[in-house]
């Protein structure tokens, strides 16, 4: 594509929706609220240093700031102006710091709005252990999973009505009169949609990821014994997709036992499923048995947080929101406004989200430089306060100092 923005070239998509990345891609960024400016400055330094060292100047990211959050609210009177959505679509790839959303009042979650409007249906959260990190479990090194969490349906679709509202009273009456369902008086009411199409595009992406990366299994996580027509359907539609589109590359756990004597045929990915409550125990007690997880939104939210707790906390948990047309990479934690401007908070989540972004655009060499340098920095005991207070003999450093320490340890 020849459309340029000053110095830099737009990323494009080919007919099969694969990225076409120039050596000078324009990538959007949202600084974020609260601690956002601190961790973004640290992340930008690390990303630019890694790209420069990996490619010797032949490749370079051209950053384009996007308006969102408190900064956009002050400038244009709204936290997510339409131009931001348009420019993310134009950039194709973007990265963002945390955005603040009031609890129980005010405007809707900006993160949820971004996912819904841009149809970023796959929330992808890889969780792995970096040697030296503190952990509450005995063997955190066994944790190495990637969670594919559906992003646009389930309870996070945000379809709900307040207790006592005319809409809630009307829906309560319809449920009672037409479906013989009685609710407690003055109930707040929410609707939980899960569709075949929404489920299968997520599961398709999860299975493809497992195949492309040589991973052994994909586990469908659900609460289908209770919510049979939503989460139970998620399970069934997932298996249906695997059988129709990946019959030559996937085998179910049931067929593995009944037809293959428990031995995985060469080149096959095992498709299995687990109840959400059981899976919560499994990721704590037997994490080595799972590699890729595909799940509805709420289940994926708490499972990915539980996994992150085993490997250093949310400060080391990266994430991405990916759709067919664009992707936004983000820190998975909140904006922590009480630490705003203190240069204190761990930038690891956003740095590792940047690694995911580099891998997404095919710049794996730069991503590997960062991961290796990050590991050496942690092993040297050079960490921010959240990790230092859990590690014996650690040297506590500021957010910006941690970033510089990572850069110093790049090969």
DSSP sequence for 329-351:
EEESS---GGGTTSS-S--HHHH
Q: Which pLDDT score is estimated for 107? A: 54
Most confident of 157-171, 303-317, 360-374: 360-374
Q: Which pLDDT score is estimated for 4? A: 44
3-state secondary structure of 409: coil
109 annotated to a ligand binding site: yes
Do the Cβ atoms of 317 and 127 come closer than 8 Å? Answer: yes
Q: Which of 55-64, 286-295, 307-316 has the lowest mean pLDDT?
A: 307-316
Cβ of 136: how many Cβ atoms within 10 Å? 10
pLDDT tens digits for range 56-70: 999 999 999 999 988
The catalytically annotated residue of 223, 268, 290, 386 is: 223
164 annotated to a ligand binding site: no
Q: Which pLDDT score is estimated for 112? A: 84
> Is 301 a catalytic site residue?
yes
Q: Is the pLDDT of residue 2 over 50?
A: no
334 annotated to a ligand binding site: yes
Q: Is the pLDDT of residue 103 over 80?
A: no
What one-character DSSP code corresponds to residue 28? E
Copy the structure tokens of residue 290: 């799972």
pLDDT tens digits for range 192-207: 999 999 999 999 999 9
pLDDT tens digits for range 361-372: 999 999 999 999
> Is 156 a catalytic site residue?
yes
225 annotated to a ligand binding site: no
Q: Which pLDDT score is estimated for 334? A: 87
> Is 223 a catalytic site residue?
yes
The closest alpha carbon to 331, from 71, 25, 33, 26, belongs to: 33
Partners of 4 in beta bridges: 9
Q: Which pLDDT score is estimated for 374? A: 96
Q: Which domains does the chain have, with CATH numbers?
A: 1-121+317-410 (3.40.718.10), 135-153+192-311 (3.40.718.10), 155-191 (no CATH)
Work out the average pLDDT over 223-236: 96
263 annotated to a ligand binding site: no
314 confidence band (pLDDT: 50, 70, 90): confident
Q: Taking each helix axis as running N to C, give the angle between helix 36-55 and helix 399-408, from 0 to 180 degrees, rounded to the nearest 10.
A: 10
89 annotated to a ligand binding site: no
The catalytically annotated residue of 121, 129, 156, 239 is: 156
> Is 86 a catalytic site residue?
no
The catalytically annotated residue of 33, 273, 299, 301 is: 301
Work out the average pLDDT over 216-232: 96
pLDDT tens digits for range 15-50: 888 999 999 999 999 999 999 999 999 999 999 999
Q: Is the pLDDT of residue 74 over 50?
A: yes
301 annotated to a ligand binding site: yes
Work out the average pLDDT over 374-390: 94
Q: Is the pLDDT of residue 3 over 50?
A: no
337 annotated to a ligand binding site: yes
Residue 102 to residues 40, 270, 320, 334, Cα–Cα distance (Å): 22, 42, 22, 12
Q: Which of 145-154, 240-249, 309-318 has the lowest mean pLDDT?
A: 309-318
pTM score above 0.85: yes
389 annotated to a ligand binding site: yes
Q: Which pLDDT score is estimated for 104? A: 47
Work out the average pLDDT over 241-249: 96
Copy the structure tokens of residue 265: 């045929």
Do the Cβ atoms of 345 and 337 come closer than 8 Å? Answer: no
Work out the average pLDDT over 337-347: 94
Measured between its terminal Cα atoms, the distance across the chain in Å is 33
Supply the mean pLDDT for the chain: 92
Work out the average pLDDT over 77-82: 91
Work out the average pLDDT over 230-257: 95
The catalytically annotated residue of 86, 186, 229, 277 is: 277
DSSP sequence for 354-407:
HHHHHHHTT-HHHHHHHHHHHHHHHHTTEE-HHHHTTSTT-EE--HHHHHHHHH
Q: Is the pLDDT of residue 5 over 60?
A: no
Work out the average pLDDT over 368-385: 96
Angle at 346 between CA 323 and CA 355, to 5 degrees: 35
Pairing status of strand 144-150 against strand 395-396: unpaired
pLDDT tens digits for range 124-135: 999 999 998 889
């Amino acid at each position: 594509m020849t459309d340029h923005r000053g110095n830099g070239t737009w990323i494009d998509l080919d007919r099969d929706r694969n990225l076409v990345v120039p050596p000078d891609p324009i990538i959007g960024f949202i600084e974020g609220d609260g601690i956002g400016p601190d961790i973004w400055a640290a992340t930008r330094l690390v990303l630019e240093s890694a790209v420069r060292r990996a490619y010797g100047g032949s490749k370079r990211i051209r950053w384009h700031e996007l308006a969102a959050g408190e900064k956009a609210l002050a400038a244009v009177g709204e936290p997510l102006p339409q131009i931001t959505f348009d420019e993310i679509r134009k950039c194709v790839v973007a990265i963002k710091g945390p955005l603040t959303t009031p609890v129980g009042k005010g405007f809707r979650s900006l993160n949820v709005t971004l996912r819904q409007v841009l149809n970023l249906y796959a929330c992808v959260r890889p969780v792995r252990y970096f040697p030296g990190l503190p952990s509450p479990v005995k063997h955190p090194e066994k944790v190495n999973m990637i969670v594919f969490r559906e992003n646009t349906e389930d309870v996070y679709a945000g379809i709900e009505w307040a207790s006592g509202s005319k809409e809630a009273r009307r829906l309560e009456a319809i449920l009672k009169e037409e479906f013989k369902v009685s609710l407690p008086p003055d109930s707040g009411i929410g609707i939980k949609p899960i569709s075949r199409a929404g489920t299968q595009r997520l599961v398709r992406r999860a299975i493809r990821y497992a195949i492309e990366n040589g991973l052994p299994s994909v586990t469908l996580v659900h609460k289908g014994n209770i919510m049979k027509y939503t989460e139970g359907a998620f399970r069934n539609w997932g298996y249906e997709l695997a059988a129709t589109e990946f019959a030559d590359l996937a085998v179910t756990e049931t067929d593995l036992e009944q037809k293959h004597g428990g031995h995985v045929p060469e080149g096959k990915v095992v498709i299995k499923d687990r109840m959400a409550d059981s899976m919560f125990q499994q990721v704590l007690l037997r994490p080595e048995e799972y590699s890729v997880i595909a799940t509805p939104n709420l289940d994926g939210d708490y499972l990915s947080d539980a996994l992150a707790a085993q490997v250093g906390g949310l400060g080391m948990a990266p994430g991405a929101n990916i759709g067919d047309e664009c992707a936004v990479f983000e820190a998975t934690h909140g904006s922590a406004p009480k630490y705003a401007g203190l240069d204190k908070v761990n930038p690891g989540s956003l740095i590792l989200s940047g690694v995911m972004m580099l891998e997404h655009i095919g710049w794996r060499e730069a991503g590997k430089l960062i991961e290796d340098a990050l590991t050496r920095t942690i092993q040297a005991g050079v960490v921010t306060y959240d990790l230092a207070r859990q590690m014996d003999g650690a040297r506590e450093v500021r957010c910006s100092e941690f970033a510089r320490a990572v850069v110093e340890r790049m090969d």
